[in-house]
Amino acid sequence: MAFATAKDGTQIYFKDWGSGRPVVFSHGWPLIADAWDPQLMLMADNGYRVVAHDRRGGGRSGQPWKGNDLNTYAEDLASVIEALDLRNIILVGHSTGGGEVTRYIGRHGTGRVAKAVLLGAIPPLMLKTDANPEGLPIEVFDEIRKGVLTDRSQFYKDLSAPFYGANREGTTVSQGTRDEFWLWSMTVSIKAAYDCVKAFSETDLTEDLKTFDIPTLIIHGDDDQIVPIAASAEKSSQLVKDVTFKVYSGAPHGLPMVPEFADQFNSDLLEFARG
């Protein structure tokens, strides 16, 4: 297996498939790189080099006690990029991974990055504040922390329903997809999962978004029950200069794995990469 070494010595596992222009994927909470496998195969089959890593604390990466915050996640992403000396990159981030991509650009700029894709992403800020009334109240995130601490196995099984929209009438989400979500989530240490709730809910990425100077594709479902569109993509699309904003009607948070939205996302991703 391939690993990059983070600044604190943590080993960050990554997949590196195919050849050509690099497309680097960052996954959402509480998942691992495998969540991107269909898109990794799609892009590699179409002449791209694809890279996806397991965030620290989960999957095949190390499980340190510290560093479960967006600053460190961004530096871990930088460690992978620099270890492979990737350039002219298309960065793709889903959910918390979108925050990771955004903080990476805020800290490192776009010297190695040519394009970015933010899918169901957390920026600019998920938490409800006086300045961000569209956000979710802190009690929502406290309940997530409680779920992780008390019975995370059942919590993840339950969470898979709103994540994929399996609680909506007419859903086509399979039990296998929901089981896969649980399986990946259970590889994440309880410490990493717990700490990441604060990272994805309370980190303000407004200023990072303002530094984007590359073509950026923002995609969000208007039935996202995890990252409400009003507090995220609608605001991010106003902060990024060169942006294409696509709203998928009726789509949930984990839309790339939902049959009725997967083909649309894959087509949009490939078209954006080629453009």
Catalytic residue, chosen from 61, 79, 224, 237, is: 224
Question: Exposed, middle or buried, 242 (CB in 10 Å: 0-12/13-18/19+)?
Answer: exposed
**pTM strictly above 0.95:** yes
**Domain coordinates in residue numbering, the chain:** 2-274
**Catalytic site residue 224?**
yes
Catalytic residue, chosen from 95, 185, 232, 236, is: 95
- Write down the pLDDT at residue 1: 83
- Write down the pLDDT at residue 77: 99
**In this predicted model, what pLDDT tens digit does every residue of 141-163 receive, in sequence order?**
999 999 999 999 999 999 999 99
The contacts of residue 181 (CB under 8 Å, 6+ apart) are 31, 156, 159, 160, 163, 164, 254
Measured in whole angstroms, the distance separating CA 89 from the mean position of its chain's CA atoms is 16
The CA distance from 76 to 10, in Å, is: 9
The CA distance from 175 to 182, in Å, is: 11
Pairing of strands 2-5, 11-17: antiparallel
The residue ranges of DSSP E strands in 1-112, in sequence order, are: 2-5, 11-17, 21-26, 48-53, 89-94
The CA distance from 123 to 206, in Å, is: 7
- Write down the pLDDT at residue 234: 98
Nearest to 226 by CA among 248, 198, 254, 202: 254
Q: Do 35 and 53 contact (CB within 8 A), yes or no?
A: no
pLDDT < 70 positions in the chain: none
**Catalytic site residue 236?**
no
Fold of 2-274: Rossmann fold (3.40.50)
The CA distance from 173 to 191, in Å, is: 29
**Catalytic site residue 222?**
no
**In this predicted model, what pLDDT tens digit does every residue of 4-59 receive, in sequence order?**
999 999 999 999 999 999 999 999 999 999 999 999 999 999 999 999 999 999 99
